[in-house]
Structure 1
């Protein structure tokens, strides 16, 4: 897929300063920041709103979000394919505005069934928008610039969510229906502005196929599917800090409770500062696979350190937990950068939307199964569970090099467009 006119400059790399080079990445970064601030608001208050204000039980909220996540698996590939055929920029703006409107419907929810319907529709549109956004990034960036752009946007995402969570804390302080609802409105306003900011990116021409080959080529590409599956298996580690660490620290170590916040801070700060830098040595699928292999070994070391925190006094526990979190976030930087490149470079340019839909779907599956895996292994088995999890990451990482090599050999030939 060729870059749109006016997009070539400023898409090859990201400046080493705060702002990217002039070009399409600047409005995309601003839109990402605005929308992720809104996401941070809702991540902070939404569960409490549905529980304390609407009156849903925690079990009902969890069930509703799980069912919605299952339906969300159905939308990424079709909407990504639509982005290939109609152009990703306009479709992304439309889907983003739809998400804003649907999120406001939560304010009219009064029972579980209303919550379930809104959650299902919203999640399907949101997951599809994620695939279209990835296709848009692929369209306005070139070569290694795609990895740098994704890395930069991931750093911006962390900053935005952190800022949104800080604002959401005010709603938690007042703990009133008005305060919570104001956060939903503020999210819709910020996300709507973000959608219109995307219009500053030059229009991307759609692709029209000239052959009669199969339509759903991404679902027939076994090499790409295999790499996406491995990446989903590795990505379980993203849930360790959110799901496993809080319960591990409180129930299995002598570390004080504030250690949980310390570990989250280490992760957020390191990702925000070093995600772009960590992507610079990853230039092709081979280097991406090797980086992921190294990430698997680092994750094994991290799991051992986290497991060791169960022995010793509070000071030793905090030191081991902090060291484990630091090693994990280094692995996260490497695995994320490798994932960015593999998702783009193993996909044909004329079908980036469809392929990004497959990649996003695999990540959604990883997010859904991660809590169960963590509940069964580290939280269920204790120290042996941490070791088993670490070995899983190391073995999965080791498979990347041969599987990526195989996937490259199976890459579909370019299609006339």
Structure 2
């Protein structure tokens, strides 16, 4: 592992990432941003409950509505990035969230908090889209390697933030909760200052991207292509929504299934997140090599579908046997869903870039970013209200459905990118 993206190899890559100095600064800004996100994720529900005194129902509605608002952030950021400098837009997103988090500390009621938290989530999704658009421009043909490094940096930052939050939550006072929210706000100020030190990345062609019909409307047709008129790209984005379900399976499905339907020890729940964070930091760079370019990116979809299918089979089997059998099976499921996440996180963005025409890439990637936002809103209720309600059979159906959709996405993308039928590629490989 030392020579393939883990340990010293990862540290060396972080010191000298694709894109040079600006990429290195952006990775640091991203890690700082995600450290604040870790603070928020670990403390927000308790802050809303014990400091602002919202009921469980109000908290659920507030966070759910904010998640819906976040869906708008990706296409809005993409649309603006086609007209304004990405660097200044990203700084604006950081400063916007700095202001809204400050307002969260000043607001006390549900009605006042709802628009403030909603705008915070909108800015959060917009920032993520702008960060990756920055990556596609500054890293060029090595954007997959940069995406892998950004995932490692982001997860490391998130883990640090969650660890700091654990200390604050252990104190459990109102001042401690407020300090955690303030820490998140300050992370945006630091991230904005770091982004200010970078230069606006130049727009340029993406090596390996198809020209003309394969990548979308031809750029020389006289009319600027748009993602909302591109049925093929919209089909890709629609199928990409279930390709993001690994996020909800890890964060919602595994913990609730363990607690409600198995005899595994409850102390195993935080182990899932620790395992996920460590593996993403250590393995993301080496796994990313399996998703570089159109052929590998399309083949990665099949691997993702297979991993999710086996993971769901393990979830169904966890109800059979005693506590230790359930614990081992669920840990195996956590490992599989993490491997699926590693594969999806780079292949999904690589395909989103390759399928987009060059002169409208910002708008296209903004629309592609909606897939993750929609899944974050729809995934948890799908798992709790449909899959888990159906018992072990629900997991088997989910796994088969995701695997089938992965095959469909593979064929659609391979056809649009002109990389040949999957079966021929597999034999050649």
Q: Match of 1:270?
A: 279
Q: Does 1:394 align with 2:403?
A: yes
Question: Using a 3 Å threshold, how does the CA distance of structure 1 residues 286 and 52 change in structure 2: closer, same or farther?
Answer: same
Instruction: Say which of 381, 388, 413 aligns to 2:390.
Output: 381
How far residue 52 of structure 1 moved from its aligned partner, in angstroms, is: 0.7
For residues 119 and 189 of structure 1, what CA distance do their matches in structure 2 show? 16
For residues 381 and 10 of structure 2, what CA distance do their matches in structure 1 show? 40
Question: Using a 3 Å threshold, how does the CA distance of structure 1 residues 20 and 232 change in structure 2: closer, same or farther?
Answer: farther
For residues 93 and 20 of structure 1, what CA distance do their matches in structure 2 show? 23
Worse overlay, 382-391 or 314-323:
314-323
Q: Match of 1:168?
A: 165
For residues 108 and 37 of structure 2, what CA distance do their matches in structure 1 show? 22
The SS at the match of 1:86 is: coil
For residues 156 and 371 of structure 2, what CA distance do their matches in structure 1 show? 25
How far residue 151 of structure 1 moved from its aligned partner, in angstroms, is: 1.2
CA RMSD after TM alignment: 2.0
Cα contact 1:86–1:206 (8 A) shared by 2: no
Q: Match of 2:81?
A: 83
TM-score if structure 2 supplies the norm length? 0.87
For residues 370 and 64 of structure 1, what CA distance do their matches in structure 2 show? 17
Q: Does 1:50 align with 2:51?
A: no
Q: Match of 1:97?
A: 95
Q: Match of 1:114?
A: 112
Gaps of 5+ in 2: 1-7, 205-218, 419-429
Question: Using a 3 Å threshold, how does the CA distance of structure 1 residues 309 and 122 change in structure 2: closer, same or farther?
Answer: same
For residues 369 and 27 of structure 2, what CA distance do their matches in structure 1 show? 20
Q: Match of 1:73?
A: 71
Question: Using a 3 Å threshold, how does the CA distance of structure 1 residues 124 and 264 change in structure 2: closer, same or farther?
Answer: closer
How far residue 274 of structure 1 moved from its aligned partner, in angstroms, is: 0.3
Q: Match of 1:365?
A: 374
For residues 333 and 408 of structure 1, what CA distance do their matches in structure 2 show? 22
TM-score if structure 1 supplies the norm length? 0.89
Instruction: Say which of 184, 189, 194 aligns to 1:192.
Output: 189
Q: Match of 1:132?
A: 130
Question: Using a 3 Å threshold, how does the CA distance of structure 1 residues 87 and 42 change in structure 2: closer, same or farther?
Answer: same
Q: Match of 1:9?
A: none
Gaps of 5+ in 1: 1-14, 410-417
For residues 279 and 266 of structure 1, what CA distance do their matches in structure 2 show? 19
Cα contact 2:77–2:129 (8 A) shared by 1: yes
Q: Match of 2:264?
A: 255
For residues 216 and 74 of structure 1, what CA distance do their matches in structure 2 show? 20
Matched residue count: 393
How far residue 205 of structure 1 moved from its aligned partner, in angstroms, is: 5.2
Question: 1:282-319 CA distances to partner (integer Å, 9 max, x unpaired)?
Answer: 22222111111111011111111121111111121111
Matches within 5 A, 1:285-364: 285-364=294-373
The SS at the match of 1:281 is: helix
